[in-house]
Structure 1
């Protein structure tokens, strides 16, 4: 009999413990970029430990793989404790008051979805796990945002003994939250994070951090102010830290131990940023509390301030807007293109693919690795702390990489051959940046690796990238007033993709067939009129260190004509019959040309001598304006010997 009584008592105690935690409030959709979403849990007693509990979010969409009641997020609550009012707030750093449990912005999905508390482990709900009802289910809430789906969730949770409720938060971008009444029902109203929904409970004294601006240069001085909502009843002593990433205590001076005297509500500290001589790159300091007494409510924390490094370096070559030529030398191995000599047509094209898609040599990196590749390959020659934006034609801080749905002022990865046109997307482990030495073996048929090919991805302004979307080149010509400094770059990028991957093709017009992209005529003109410069050669060299292949149309731009242009069917040879002297760094465009050509890179007067293919000098030109030359030649191939500043070079040109 005694054992039976003890057993009954244990069951009752278990039921009491199980009933102590519920979903008190959820805000699944907020105006803007959904940065203010949160979930609030409530325990029947204050300071309740949540060890052994997991909060699981389920997708109610009709997607047969990720939806129909499958989990998309599971939060382990081990180590967390509710506050004096029995509340635990879960949300991003943008939520105020600051949640005790921080998650990234825009993590919580809109309805029709569900959120549930289980006595289980987060590993029990590795995504996507189908929702279920058993004795470990403690509480569940089904919520909507004017949605019509979610029927599978209703079916799954209909067996829950405590019953289910389906609450509509409102239309998209609403300002409501779903809140629990004391009787267990729910209502919608103005969000009340870290407050009891009926207005009762202990009122905590909130403390807020204030800064005047979010960016300073090395050597500048700024104040951080801390203010409580009410005067403190006893002296408040607290510490802060400014460390974050590479920014540490060696990068600033100033007091980080602060006091608000009894009866007052504010204090401040003055921080001086150390102006060192090291090029560390722009850094970020983050203002955070070390600890605060439990009677204080943190209204905001983890405030970030950009520290701009004034020790940035400049490259020896120019930006695409102010290009230089010949300063950067190709790092191609000796004889890299030798196998192409003497070939033409489809044989030449295949031989080129055999080089740049050789599975015994070429490596494929992840889509996450591309971020690091672009920070190096697309580094702004005028400022080593920035990337160069391909369409906007300007630099942007490397730190401003887009990490949320908000792309304003951010840069991201632009596929020159759009995903939706090519048919590739993220693959397993594509979100892991594992560095140069971890890679996939890849070949010409590995189209999936086109998603993360550094030769076909560029740093781009977020909004401009969205505007370009999946338009063909020719449909898209860049933002209004652009200088076209990227035309040749993107042309050579997508032409490379056709050779590198089977299943891709550059065609005339604006096709709607998967794997095809246009417009070939436009891209050929862009290639001819914007020849490869030092910026493009440098990025070719950088990508080569990761992928062990090169874009041949940067190293050997004339190859374009032999595959798509005016020399199709002609035999390709690298060596010219007239020896080249590359001391004079210039570029000629358009090439092929109908008559007139322009020379990039000339700074002083020059003598131009025109030779036929057999080496016979046809004419000399020494008087021309604006670097424009009228050749007046018949159709064919010629060599131009250009002499200036006691230097010379020989360039091949095609007249059509």
Structure 2
């Protein structure tokens, strides 16, 4: 048995990676075997980073077995997450050994090794890794300068060549034909109450009828959400069949959900061309708020929910006395709460809710809505939303600690004060729901250097201005200054931020957001409640006595 083909680097996000192994005889049991991947990078120490148990599987009629991402076609027998297979210089080995022999960071070894391949994508040879695995050549997937669209393949004589990927196909010569089964949906997404049509096809017409069983359940989408149909039959002489499934409209707002069509079909003469495909089901029972989005704002439909005396200590103060009094209110260690960074996900689902659809969040910068369930959980951020720090962490000097990994809810919190700079990492007043790629595009740029996507409607600019100005009051060690400074703790550009505050005044979306965060953190952003006070701190009214009328 040997490594027959590997595609470690694919176009864009690595979602077509695979490893193919081949046995000398067909239908070979893989019990007792494992696949181990080794990290040959400078910080990988030629040690294992992933081990995959092959127990319970066997190769097919061509002696092939495929491990790969979900989008690889034909479908892999073992699915690994996207971007799991490193690009090199790295290695993959087949071992006849228990999985327990290779916890992560196990040094590469020839003990119980069946076959190994050391590979790269135009990287320097890892001589030590080759020596550890007993191989004398490192194969370059980028030999033809086309690494994103070619793979490393083993020839019949044991050498390797680089060519167009051929998963579940013999690399040279003719193998046994396996009739491919494919399915497709009639729509890109569905709403509750819709009828799903799933079309099944085979590459060649059937000599005998087959029945394919399937399941649609995935995460919160279960058997109560669709009609009780779990199979389809393609008749002898035919090459296609369809099935209709009703999505139940339960009149309960459960939020948007995803279904996943998974086929359960075992027949050595067939091969699944796709499987485990996810489709969105939008819940139609969402709530519409009585205030507008930031691009269609309203200004008088949301009340600021705080007591009459919340800001009473500010009256009659001016200059530094006014600033100190504000800081004491929003940083009061006896009242203010700090939550974990993981809790921020739930806070943003409430605070940044799309007024036009309660199952969505509204994204800063890109000025659009996105389903709450599309929160980024992997390295791929395309089509996902994540958490944007308006005052970038690298510029503020704050970051996660281990306790930030736990979302423990509104009733669990830390005490915090004006000197608790670390808590800026999870201060919801300074974090917004953001499109993943746009968050990356902003990076840690200062405002003024970053002005949002081309053609934006400026609807976020006042919001982020009041956000970072708040943070500079809330935490010692943070400051908003002129220009684009490199000093940790400073963010610019002050003049741009002040102009944005004027350009985009407080609206109902921002007021509702302030109310939600107040419920969690027990502090408010006074620049939202008292917009005029900005000028008494940073503007032309500095030094004048403040009275809230």
Q: 2:223 aligns with which of 236, 249, 265?
A: 249
- 2:138 aligns with one of 154, 166, 170: 166
TM-score with structure 2 length normalisation?
A: 0.88
1:258 aligns with 2:232: yes
- Matching residue of 1:34: 14
User: Is the Cα–Cα contact under 8 Å of residues 141 and 147 in structure 2 kept in the other structure?
Assistant: no
Q: Deviations over 1:409-446 (max 9, x none)?
A: 44333221223433445554656655445556655555
SS in structure 2 at match of 1:202: coil
Deviation at 1:322, TM superposition (A): 3.1
* CA deviation profile, 1:356-381 (whole Å, cap 9, x unmatched): 45566555444444333322211111
The structure 2 residue matched to 1:299, chosen from 259, 273, 298, is 273
Indicate the SS of the match to 2:465.
helix
Distance, in Å, in 2 between the alignment partners of 1:432 and 1:173 is 39
Alpha-carbon spacing, 1:52–1:497, altered in 2? closer, same or farther (3 Å): farther
Task: Tell me if the contact between 2:45 and 2:107 (Cα under 8 Å) persists in the aligned partners.
Answer: no
Shift of residue 321, structure 1, vs aligned partner: 2.6
**Is contact 1:28-1:110 (8 Å) kept?**
yes
Match of 1:515 among 489, 492, 495: 489
Quote the residue 1:455 is aligned against: 429
Residues in 1 aligned to 2:523 and 2:101: alpha-carbon distance in whole angstroms:
43
CA offset digits 1:77-102 (Å, max 9, x no partner)? 44444334443311111100111111
Equivalents in 1 of 2:309, 2:348: separation in Å?
27
User: How far off is 1:137 after superposition?
Assistant: 4.1
Seen in structure 2, the aligned counterparts of structure 1 residues 515 and 83 have a Cα distance that, compared at 3 Å, is: farther
Please name the residue that 1:103 is paired with: 80
- In the TM superposition, what whole-angstrom CA distance separates every residue of 1:134-185 from its partner, at most 9, and x where no partner exists? 524443322111123x63xx3144144x434311000465311112234443
CA distance in structure 2 between the aligned counterparts of 1:273 and 1:359, rounded to whole angstroms: 50
Q: Does the 8 Å contact 2:192/2:283 carry over to 1?
A: yes
Alignment of 1:65-76 (within 5 A): 67-76=44-53
1:478 paired residue among 446, 452, 475: 452
Partner of 2:301: 327
1:489 aligned onto 2:463: yes
Alpha-carbon offset, residue 112 of structure 1: 1.8
What is aligned with 2:109? 133
- For residues 447 and 311 of structure 1, do their structure 2 counterparts lie closer, same or farther at Cα, with a shift above 3 Å needed? same
Q: Which residues in structure 2 correspond to 1:87-102 (within 5 Å)?
A: 87-102=64-79
Cα gap change, 1:342 to 1:391, in 2 (>3 Å)? same
Structure 1, unmatched stretches of 5+, are 1-20, 577-650, 652-656
Cα distance in 1 between the residues matched to 2:282 and 2:518: 30
Counterpart Cα distance in 2 of 1:515 and 1:173: 42
- Provide the residue aligned with 1:564 in structure 2: 538
Q: What does 1:433-448 correspond to in 2, within 5 Å?
A: 433=407, 435-436=409-410, 444-448=418-422
**Distance in 1 separating the partners of 2:247 and 2:347:** 30
Quick one: distance in 2 between partners of 1:544 and 1:124? 51
| Distance in 1 between residues matched to 2:518 and 2:56, nearest whole Å | 47
Corresponding residue number in structure 2 for 1:114 = 91
In 2, the alpha carbon distance for the partners of 1:544 and 1:296 equals 59
Relative to 1, partners in 2 of residues 1:280 and 1:111: Cα closer, same or farther, differing over 3 Å?
same
CA-to-aligned-CA distance 1:395-420 (integer Å, 9 cap, x gap): 23334444556555443332212234
Cα distance between partner residues in 1 of 2:316 and 2:97: 69
Aligned to 1:386: 360
Please give the per-residue CA displacement for 1:463-490, whole angstroms capped at 9, x wherever unaligned.
4434433332223333344332222210
Contact 2:130 2:138 in 1 (8 A): no
| 1:48 positional shift | 4.3
How has the CA–CA distance of structure 1 residues 206 and 505 changed in structure 2, closer, same or farther, with 3 Å as cutoff? Answer: same
The alpha-carbon deviation at position 567 of structure 1 amounts to 4.2
Task: Confirm or deny that 1:187 pairs with 2:156.
Answer: no
- 2:42 alignment partner in structure 1: 62
Look up the match of 2:4: 24
> Which 10-residue stretch deviates more, 461-470 or 301-310?
461-470
Question: Deviation at 1:124?
Answer: 5.7
Distance in 2 (CA, whole Å) between partners of 1:442 and 1:356 is 11
**Alpha-carbon distance between aligned partners in 1 of 2:462 and 2:413, rounded to the nearest angstrom:** 29
Q: Sort the Cα spacing of 1:122 and 1:532 in 2 relative to 1 into closer, same or farther, 3 A.
A: farther
Are the equivalent residues in 2 in contact too, given 1:32–1:173 (CA < 8 A)? Answer: no
Distance in 1, Cα, partners of 2:24 & 2:241: 36
Look up the match of 2:171. Answer: 197
Q: 1: CA distance between counterparts of 2:415 and 2:64?
A: 51
Q: Is contact 2:36-2:51 (8 Å) kept?
A: yes
The residue that corresponds to 1:311 in the other structure is 285
Q: Higher relative CO (CA 8 A, sep ≥ 6), structure 1 or 2?
A: 2
The aligned counterpart of 1:585 is none
Whole-angstrom CA distance in 2 between matches of 1:146 and 1:519: 42
